[in-house]
A and B are shown apart, each in its own frame.
Chain A
Amino acid sequence: MGIESIRAFAATLLPCGSAVLGLLGSVPTAGAVAEEDRSFAVTEEREPCTDFHPLRNAYFGDIHSHTSFSQDASVKGTRNEPRDAYRFARGERIGIQPYDEQDVPWATVQLERPLDFAAVTDHAEMLGEVHTCLTPGLPGHDSWTCRMYRGWPTLAYFLMNARVSRANPIRFAFCGALGIYCLEAAQMPWMEIQRAAEAAYDRSAACRFTSFVGYEWTGSRSSNNLHRNVIFRNERTLDLPISFYEESRAEGLWEQLRAQCLDRGDGCEAIVIPHNSNLSSGLMFQAKDRLGQGYTAATAASRSRIERLVEIMQHKGDSECSLGVDSTDELCGFEKLSFGSLGGKYIPFMGDPTAPASFVRNALKIGIEQHAKVGANPFKLGIIAGTDSHVGTPGNVSEDRHVNHAGRGKPVLAKAPAGLQDLIEFNPGGLAGVWAEENARDALFAALQRREVFGTSGPRIPVRFFASWKPPGDACRSGTLVERGYAEGVPMGGDLPPRPPDATAPSFSVWAMRDPGSQRRPGTKLQRLQIVKGWVENGEAREVVHDVAGSSAGNAMVDVYTCEQYGDGFDDLCTVWTDPDFDPEQHAFYYVRVIENPSCRWSAHACNRLGVDCLDRRSANRELFGQCCTRDRPRDIQERAWSSPIWYQPAHGAP
């Protein structure tokens, strides 16, 4: 008996039948948009969006944030729940800890500009587990639920599926009849997370906000961070998140996601996004699996099918590249941590902050190396950024209003009362940018999957990037760059098609505009556009960074005491560029980096507010003065955006 027939059988037997049928065969709403204009499949019931644009809009969001449902947030006093995080993302004002009389929070926070989309990604480890069922000797192991779970996983699966109810009233009757399924304690947090996402998701044509259901798989190895976020396409998700306890290896996570979601046949889809490779001592992108096995074509392809993206920057630092770690690129010196693993923060010499495979740019090179070796690229990664907020404030990236991400932790404040709100090495984090036709789950998820996404260190910088064999000529001046980009080439995240015989080198077109800013603060002007190229030559990984537009010797600067900005910059930078060293026999990747003029780092804003004057030792207590006036941490930064790469691969295999 196949799974389909079990479902059909159950549908007739149980009162939740129609709910299950609804789950399996949701009928997409036919919208005003013709099917052929859509680049994505519609898998859910909703109105089509009024802002539909076939050449795609830029949406900004944050798909990495935590709430009180994560134990590391909860024990630090975070009270905001997933619902509050989504309210915040939609632009509402919420409180953050600590709370005082009548539960009034110490501070309230609000986004100046709401996000377009967000996901709460609490650590799976407090969301409930099937652990009891699988560990003999524990109370509950021999319960009926567990016996069924072990003996009849398929049917148990169906029952759980029916139970994970979202706004479908009929299923409550089912819960009533066999209440255990709805009330079993371990299930409740995960259900609440899904309901919170539903409550925040605008299914009307206004499409103001898209929520995604997600969670974080908190895998690590001797304190080296291997954490990954799992993001689901629609309301069809897992019965329970697969946590580090069920699957301690990333390979196991992918396998189980395939078995329990992707191959389920009901439209469940998920992608996996690693983050903080900077804290992995090179383990995140090493060219072998946890058991020491090298990649094969099959395992490499299978990794890149499910790990489509990487989070390049967030609260705990930047992971793009590191000056001196297989790179001479000075702009890599941005939001770097001095430690290389989670434990390295507390224990000196633990973890290696200079391991090449800790950084995304190197991972992309290793991917090409692996392709040459085994015939497939395991690290074909699109790029986003996020916050990793632990107080339930996704997208709270403003430098001048930074209020820390892990709660006003006692240790920090014990050192510096009313001082800096966060460790000096941390930062407010970044955002994910997505090019999609409309602001709805299907459109955004399809963009995540095809990697037509970019990351920013906070500002909302829209950046376009296309590659084509046909020179687009004066596309910048004629304003046809986007139309021609799609019609004749591939956008960011894609592969150049095979080289036509009459073409010598591909043309790359890049267009970025500065963040228009908010009512309170205009966006910072752009300084320049860069194209970063990586390849492998004679067995050696190589890279080069080209300035392709704007000015590298700009006169722009910021006064770190007033945070006023001076000098020239650009609203809008556009160029068509050809690689002068293009070699048709060389497998390579190209991605864009957009660099803003200098602006104040969050710590400069905070130190100025606290009246710290680095020329006057008496202007602050010792700790605060030390934090504010250290030479190890610059007071100004150049915020930036990173596009996903475009890959070129020679027609006849690897070089």
Chain B
Amino acid sequence: MNPLRKPAVHFVALGLVLYLAKAAVYPLESSLPAQTVIVIEAARVEELRRDWLARSGSLPSERGLEALVRSEVDDRLLIEEARRRGLHRSDPVVQRRLLQNMKFLGDAAGSSAATQLDEAHRLGMDRSDLVVRRRLVQLLQLEAYGRARVPEPSEAELETYLALHSDRFMQPARLRLHHVYFSRDGRGAAAEADARAALVRIVAKANVSGSADDEGDPFMFPRDMASRSERELAKTFGAEFAGEVFELPIGGWSGPVASAYGEHLVFVHSRSPAALPPLGVVRREVFESLLAERGKRALRETLRELRGDYTVRIEGRAAPDSSIQDGG
């Protein structure tokens, strides 16, 4: 079948036209009147203080209270901006919440969803409901993250990010080892002496990994551990063992080394050093991590701009501008 069948082409084209027409007929929500003054009432400041007391058990310091107020201002800026864009009316989660509230109030039964929503707005529910407020803040935060995805990062940016965060992306050093286990459960205090005696026998035979096959006790995980990092070894044997085996000589039997479960004789075959992987291998992780960082910056930028657009008045306190700095 020819994939370029005309109806579908027409459909998309028509859709595009409809979309553009919609944009032309319904002007963007930005023409809604904005509340350009944000007031943090004295009562709200007091509430923040008490809230902190309830949560942490002590009153906030002066600087602490300032930070609480600043955080409140940030939220209010994002909420007002979200409202200016009409999200308090158009977002489905907000709608759902308001309808739920109306249903709970119980006096809206019978009227249409749209009427109930109007009533909810008239009651100021969209301003007072905590879930609606959190949702509006979240939407603007996510919008900032989304904006930060354009333009997409260049190769050079990705390379730089990888180099700057080498500690996170570094591939750990690895050991290939063979071990023989002497159980503390089974042998008690003799485990260590038994291991030493076995070491003498093994080395007398030949100092190769295979010469220990008939020694020791069963262990749930393999005797032959191909390429394990310290963290992986710690998961199986405990942290102490994992640290110690990285110090052992290569190419011969050594030990005993104590694990969480007993004593082990260990033959280290090889050790590969830690290395930073090429970008190609960790590209997606680097790409998304870089964009996440950009997103946080974009959010701070948004807040800075909004502070310019709105007048913030904090009742009963000095003008905030000197104390409200960019944090985060």
Residue ranges of A at the interface with B (Cβ–Cβ < 8 Å):
1, 5-6, 8-13, 47, 50-51, 53, 55, 57, 60, 68-69, 71, 74-75, 77, 83, 97-103, 106, 113-114, 116, 125-126, 128-132, 135, 137-140, 143-144, 147-148, 152, 155, 166-167, 169, 172, 176, 178, 180, 182-183, 185-186, 188-189, 191-192, 195-196, 198-206, 208, 245, 408, 410, 413-414, 417-418, 460, 462, 464, 476-482, 511, 513-514, 516-519, 522-523, 570-572, 574
Residue from B54, B117, B135, B220 in contact with A462 in the complex, judged by beta carbons closer than 8 Å: B220
Residue from B171, B220, B232, B237 in contact with A464 in the complex, judged by beta carbons closer than 8 Å: B220
CA of A152 to CA of B287 in the docked complex: distance in angstroms? 34
Which A residues are CB-close (under 8 A) to B238? 516-517, 522
- Give chain B nearest CB distance to A41 CB in angstroms: 20
A selection of 12 A-B contacts at a CB cut-off of 8 Å is: A6-B8, A13-B4, A74-B134, A83-B292, A97-B55, A113-B235, A144-B15, A155-B12, A167-B284, A195-B292, A203-B284, A481-B218
- Whether B61 is near chain A, meaning CB under 8 Å from some CB there, is yes
Contact indicator per residue, chain B 125-140, by CB within 8 Å of chain A (1) or not (0): 0000011001100110
B140 and chain A: residue at smallest CB distance:
A185
Whether the Cβ atoms of A199 and B90 lie closer than 8 Å is no
CA of A22 to CA of B56 in the docked complex: distance in angstroms? 50
B26 and chain A: residue at smallest CB distance:
A143
Residue ranges of B at the interface with A (Cβ–Cβ < 8 Å):
1, 3-5, 8-9, 11-12, 15-16, 18-19, 22, 51-52, 54-57, 60-61, 63-64, 66-68, 71, 87, 89-93, 95-96, 112-114, 117, 130-131, 134-135, 138-139, 142-143, 145-146, 149-150, 152, 171-172, 174, 183-185, 217-222, 226-229, 231-232, 234-240, 259-262, 277, 281-285, 287-289, 291-292, 327-328
B134 and chain A: residue at smallest CB distance:
A74
Q: A1-B8, A167-B284, A185-B90 are in contact. Are A518 and B131 (CB under 8 A)?
A: no
Which B residues are CB-close (under 8 A) to A75? 130-131, 134
Which B residues are CB-close (under 8 A) to A186? 91-93
A145 and chain B: residue at smallest CB distance:
B19
Whether the Cβ atoms of A178 and B19 lie closer than 8 Å is yes
Whether the Cβ atoms of B64 and A131 lie closer than 8 Å is no
Q: With contacts A57-B221, A188-B142 known, what are 9 further pairs, Cβ within 8 A? A: A8-B3, A68-B134, A125-B96, A167-B288, A195-B292, A203-B282, A204-B282, A208-B172, A517-B238
Whether the Cβ atoms of A206 and B22 lie closer than 8 Å is no
Whether the Cβ atoms of B138 and A69 lie closer than 8 Å is yes
CA of A50 to CA of B173 in the docked complex: distance in angstroms? 12
Q: A13-B4, A178-B16, A204-B281 are in contact. Are A138 and B185 (CB under 8 A)?
A: no
A78 and chain B: residue at smallest CB distance:
B134
A-B contact count (CB 8 A): 247
CA of A477 to CA of B186 in the docked complex: distance in angstroms? 11
Whether the Cβ atoms of A201 and B237 lie closer than 8 Å is no
Whether the Cβ atoms of B12 and A138 lie closer than 8 Å is no
Residue from B19, B92, B239, B288 in contact with A132 in the complex, judged by beta carbons closer than 8 Å: B92
- Give chain A nearest CB distance to B223 CB in angstroms: 9
Closest 7 CB pairs of A and B: A479-B218, A199-B288, A9-B3, A516-B260, A101-B67, A188-B142, A516-B238
Task: Classify the interface of chain B: helix, strand, loop or mixed.
Answer: helix
Whether the Cβ atoms of B185 and A98 lie closer than 8 Å is no
B260 and chain A: residue at smallest CB distance:
A516
CA of A152 to CA of B171 in the docked complex: distance in angstroms? 47
Which A residues are CB-close (under 8 A) to B222? 53, 55
CA of A271 to CA of B248 in the docked complex: distance in angstroms? 45
Which B residues are CB-close (under 8 A) to A178? 16, 19
CA of A570 to CA of B139 in the docked complex: distance in angstroms? 53
CA of A462 to CA of B9 in the docked complex: distance in angstroms? 57
Residue from B3, B93, B231, B260 in contact with A514 in the complex, judged by beta carbons closer than 8 Å: B260
Which B residues are CB-close (under 8 A) to A71? 131, 134-135
Whether the Cβ atoms of A5 and B91 lie closer than 8 Å is no
Whether the Cβ atoms of B92 and A98 lie closer than 8 Å is no
Which B residues are CB-close (under 8 A) to A410? 51, 54-55
CA of A188 to CA of B4 in the docked complex: distance in angstroms? 31
CA of A477 to CA of B219 in the docked complex: distance in angstroms? 10
Whether the Cβ atoms of A201 and B285 lie closer than 8 Å is yes
Which B residues are CB-close (under 8 A) to A195? 288, 291-292
Whether the Cβ atoms of A513 and B261 lie closer than 8 Å is yes
Q: A180-B19, A188-B146 are in contact. Are A135 and B93 (CB under 8 A)?
A: no
Which A residues are CB-close (under 8 A) to B89? 139
- Give chain B nearest CB distance to A69 CB in angstroms: 7
B284 and chain A: residue at smallest CB distance:
A167
- Give chain B nearest CB distance to A347 CB in angstroms: 16
Whether the Cβ atoms of B288 and A519 lie closer than 8 Å is no
Residue from A188, A414, A570, A571 in contact with B54 in the complex, judged by beta carbons closer than 8 Å: A414
CA of A83 to CA of B285 in the docked complex: distance in angstroms? 12
Most chain B CB within a 10 A radius of its CB, from A53, A152, A183, A206: A206
CA of A56 to CA of B143 in the docked complex: distance in angstroms? 43
Whether the Cβ atoms of B143 and A201 lie closer than 8 Å is no
CA of A166 to CA of B287 in the docked complex: distance in angstroms? 10
Whether the Cβ atoms of A172 and B150 lie closer than 8 Å is yes
Q: A106-B56, A188-B142, A189-B138 are in contact. Are A131 and B92 (CB under 8 A)?
A: yes
Whether the Cβ atoms of B281 and A128 lie closer than 8 Å is no
Q: A71-B131, A516-B237 are in contact. Are A192 and B114 (CB under 8 A)?
A: no
Whether the Cβ atoms of B152 and A183 lie closer than 8 Å is no
Whether the Cβ atoms of A131 and B8 lie closer than 8 Å is no
CA of A57 to CA of B232 in the docked complex: distance in angstroms? 10
A50 and chain B: residue at smallest CB distance:
B227
Whether the Cβ atoms of B218 and A100 lie closer than 8 Å is no
CA of A555 to CA of B113 in the docked complex: distance in angstroms? 66
Which A residues are CB-close (under 8 A) to B60? 100-101
- Give chain A nearest CB distance to B272 CB in angstroms: 10
Whether the Cβ atoms of B134 and A205 lie closer than 8 Å is no
Q: A8-B3, A75-B131, A511-B220 are in contact. Are A571 and B260 (CB under 8 A)?
A: yes
A79 and chain B: residue at smallest CB distance:
B71
- Give chain B nearest CB distance to A556 CB in angstroms: 14
Which A residues are CB-close (under 8 A) to B229? 206
Whether the Cβ atoms of B288 and A144 lie closer than 8 Å is no
Whether the Cβ atoms of A169 and B152 lie closer than 8 Å is yes
Whether the Cβ atoms of B237 and A155 lie closer than 8 Å is no
Which B residues are CB-close (under 8 A) to A202? 282, 285
CA of A166 to CA of B328 in the docked complex: distance in angstroms? 26
- Give chain B nearest CB distance to A237 CB in angstroms: 15
Whether the Cβ atoms of B284 and A138 lie closer than 8 Å is no
CA of A315 to CA of B61 in the docked complex: distance in angstroms? 34
Whether the Cβ atoms of A137 and B114 lie closer than 8 Å is yes
